[in-house]
């Protein structure tokens, strides 16, 4: 007999990203409950209404700038109260930033690091504490990182360094939980090229580009099993392996 589980109780940090919204739609069809966070109240309300129409058990919103890390534990408590528990946390926010500007403007470099890594540390650790307390082995913490963190490249090494930090954080958390009984799971999606508003300034096309719903399907599967690192789509594992093992005297001649 196939074991079924109760619908998930999901907190989404960065619910207005295209990938988060696509993932939420899939979970709503399974009757999941949600707390959605983001900076735009009207957009969150529209997203909440859409998820309810798709079958979500309940949807609450929390308007917040996720750089406000002093509110991490309060948001976790709010999610537990709103849904009567918490077993799934999705961290889907981030920015690409401007690499060229970051090389001459410390504030731009700091912005990239703050959004993609230093604020995420606070949210990940708060989520870990909440899942340990309220979900145990049924809990899952999933983050959206990037293959840019696999090797520093001249085109985006500030962004890449932040995503590398997030990936190592999640690997360490997964290692911690692997040694514990009744512990949650930590899953880190390493994203390749995804056609979203965040990548509007990049020329798109070709087989390497995924759509938000492609990533949502991978995230949905990863919530059930897999990790701690899941390349999304799968073929990026082999692309990045080749990039990582390329000797520097060859790598330095390639414009990446």
Which residues are catalytic, by number? 159
How many other CB atoms sit within 10 Å of the CB of residue 38? 23
What pairs with residue 123 in β-bridges? none
How many other CB atoms sit within 10 Å of the CB of residue 113? 18
Cβ 212 vs Cβ 193: under 8 Å: no
Alpha-carbon distances of 143 from 157, 186, 222, rounded to whole Å: 20, 8, 11
DSSP structure string for 74-138: HHHHHHHHHHTS--EEEE-------HHHHTT-HHHHHHHHIIIIIHHHHHHHHHHHHHHHHTGGG
Rounded to the nearest 5°, which phi and psi values hold at 146?
Answer: -155, 150
Cβ 218 vs Cβ 235: under 8 Å: no
């Amino acid at each position: 007999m196939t074991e079924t589980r109760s619908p998930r109780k999901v907190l989404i940090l960065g619910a207005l990203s295209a990938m988060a919204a696509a993932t939420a739609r899939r979970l709503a069809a399974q009757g999941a409950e949600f707390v959605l966070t983001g900076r735009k109240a009207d957009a969150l309300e529209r997203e909440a209404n859409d998820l309810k129409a798709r079958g979500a058990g309940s949807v609450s919103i929390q308007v917040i700038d996720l750089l406000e890390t002093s509110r991490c534990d309060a948001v976790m408590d709010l999610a537990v109260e709103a849904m009567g528990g918490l077993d799934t946390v999705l961290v889907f926010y981030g920015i690409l930033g401007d690499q060229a500007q970051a090389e001459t403007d410390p504030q731009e470099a700091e912005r990239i690091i703050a959004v993609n890594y230093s604020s995420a540390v606070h949210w990940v650790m708060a989520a870990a504490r909440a899942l340990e307390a309220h979900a145990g082995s049924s809990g899952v913490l999933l983050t959206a990182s990037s293959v840019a963190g696999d090797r520093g490249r001249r085109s985006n090494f500030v962004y890449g360094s932040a995503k590398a930090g997030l990936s190592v954080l999640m690997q360490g958390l997964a290692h911690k939980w692997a040694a514990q009984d009744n512990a949650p799971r930590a899953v880190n999606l390493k994203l390749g090229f995804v056609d979203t508003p965040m990548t509007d300034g990049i020329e798109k096309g070709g087989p390497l580009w995924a759509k938000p719903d492609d990533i949502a399907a991978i995230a949905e599967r990863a919530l059930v099993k897999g990790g701690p690192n899941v390349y999304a789509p799968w073929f990026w594992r082999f692309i990045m392996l080749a990039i990582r093992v390329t000797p520097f005297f060859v790598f330095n001649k390639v414009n990446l």
